[in-house]
Amino acid sequence: MNELEVFLNKLKIKKGDKILVSSDILRLLIHARKKKFNFNPNDLINILKDKVGKNGNLFIPTFNWDFFKKKVFNPLKTVSQSGSLGNVALKRKDFSRTFNPIYSFAVTGKDKDKICRQKHDNCFSLNSPFGYLIKNKGKNLIIDLHNKDIREKKFVGFVFHHVVEQAVGVSYRYIKDINGFYKNFSNSKKSLKIKFYARDLKKNYRVYLSKKLYNDLYKKKILLRKKFNGVNFDILDINPTFKLLKKDLKGKRKYFMEYSTI
């Protein structure tokens, strides 16, 4: 059992867990180089896969925004723009990629086929891998993505805030049809229409998640934080976080914060 595997035991991941891994592994690679030991991202994936067991699932984001630029989406060849771990997963035979050409995931585990068969033509709907994780008590493991800078006001790394916004129906976003093309597994080019919950550019502000969310999740024991050689590992329960944010959007909004774009 190596150093990283011993550490990951502290995150209380159980057999059967559904885990979304959002990550920036650069500092893990730097640490390994300094300590003169080999760190292979596949080792991290293998350890997590072993921890969730045969009845669990691992999700790794493989988001790519080139579909907005009219580039053809090919699930076998289009690279992930949301972290190098996603590209590692896409090269593995035990992972499959979900349907959406913008917000796809590399998935392995018991429900892999079921998840990858979802139509998911509405990016942030509950009929999506996002919805699966919300409904099935999923957890989000966030590796070194937020709170590195104590002055930072944003809570970064939790990718469900647009799902919450669409579920509630906010005034600063709207459903927009994005038309493009994809290549299926027989390499045939087909047209595709995706619904995206877009920001209303007429509004002179953006909305972000406040760091207050992190503090409250920690206090409520919805989130657990551990450090591995200075690298932050946060794991949170997705369903109660979703409910908390949904309630916040309908109320006084202490987590969804606006800032001017003027």
Domain that holds residue 43: 3-260
Which segment of 5-9, 68-72, 93-97, 136-140 scores lowest on mean pLDDT? Answer: 5-9
What secondary structure, in 3-state letters, does 9-36 show? HHHCCCCCCEEEEEECCHHHHHHHHHHC
Instruction: Match 């007429």 to its residue by tokens.
Output: 202
Question: Where residue 184 falls among pLDDT bands split at 50, 70, 90?
Answer: confident
Question: Where residue 35 falls among pLDDT bands split at 50, 70, 90?
Answer: confident
Read off φ and ψ for residue 8, nearest 5 degrees.
Answer: -65, -20
Element (H, E) at 174: strand 173-183
Which segment of 10-19, 103-112, 196-205, 223-232 scores lowest on mean pLDDT? Answer: 223-232
Residues 13-22: pLDDT tens digits? Answer: 999 999 999 9
Question: Where residue 201 falls among pLDDT bands split at 50, 70, 90?
Answer: very high
226-230 LR contacts (CB < 8 Å, sep 24+) = 226/7, 226/10, 226/11, 228/4, 228/7, 228/28, 229/31, 230/27, 230/31
Question: Do 83 and 133 contact (CB within 8 A), yes or no?
Answer: no
pTM: predicted TM-score of the whole model, two decimal places: 0.93
Report whether pLDDT(189) > 60.
yes
Question: Where residue 64 falls among pLDDT bands split at 50, 70, 90?
Answer: very high
217: its two tokens:
């999740």
Mean pLDDT, residues 54-69 taken together: 96
Distance (Å, rounded) from C-alpha 19 to C-alpha 48? 9
45: its two tokens:
């994936």
| Pairing outcome for strands 105-109 and 57-61 | antiparallel
Report whether pLDDT(151) > 80.
no
178: its two tokens:
């994005």
The number of folded domains in the chain is 1
CB neighbours of 151 closer than 8 A, spacing ≥ 6?
none
Residues 156-173: pLDDT tens digits? Answer: 888 899 999 999 999 999
State the chain's mean pLDDT as an integer.
92
Mean pLDDT, residues 217-233 taken together: 92
